[in-house]
């Protein structure tokens, strides 16, 4: 009986650990050649390959793309203020303002 209880507690503990959310991460930098590169991922080390990325300006979507196999996206730098949004689902979004992206 005690073994069954210990096993059940162990399973519950391991299940709770796997349910914990991982944090979405993204950093962007200006390549100096008129393009921007953003790299994404998750705090548990998992890839962001295929995650949606949107570049928006004044509420309008300029570009909607996805992270490549290396969890990166490269795009032409828009003129003026813009925002880069990494959206991996509910609670897993990162927004970077274009004015915070530097060489």
In a domain, 13, yes or no: no
Phi, psi of 72 (to 5 degrees): -130, 160
Q: What is the mean pLDDT of residues 20-30?
A: 85
Tokens of 74: 């490269």
The whole-number pLDDT of residue 21 equals 55
* CATH code: domain of residue 43: 2.60.40.3080
pLDDT band at 48 (very low <50, low <70, confident <90, very high): very high
| Bridge-based pairing state of the strands 93-97 and 83-87 | antiparallel
Q: H or E stretch including 86?
A: strand 83-87
Q: Could you tell me the CA-to-CA distances from 34 to 64, 86, 95 in Å, in that order?
A: 18, 20, 20
Q: Give pLDDT tens digits for 89-98.
A: 888 899 999 9
**How many structural domains does the chain have?**
1
Residue 9 lies in a domain: no
Mean pLDDT of 79-102: 93
Structural domain harbouring 42: 22-100
């Amino acid at each position: 009986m005690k073994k069954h209880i210990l096993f059940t507690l162990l399973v519950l503990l391991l299940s709770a650990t796997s349910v914990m959310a991982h944090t979405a991460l993204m950093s962007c930098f200006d390549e100096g050649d008129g393009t921007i590169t953003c790299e994404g991922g998750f705090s548990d080390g998992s890839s962001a390959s295929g995650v949606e990325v949107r570049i928006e300006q004044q509420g309008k979507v300029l570009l909607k793309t996805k992270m490549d196999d290396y969890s990166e996206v490269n795009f032409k730098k828009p003129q003026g203020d813009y925002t880069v949004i990494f959206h991996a689902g509910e609670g897993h979004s990162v927004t970077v303002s274009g004015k915070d992206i530097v060489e």
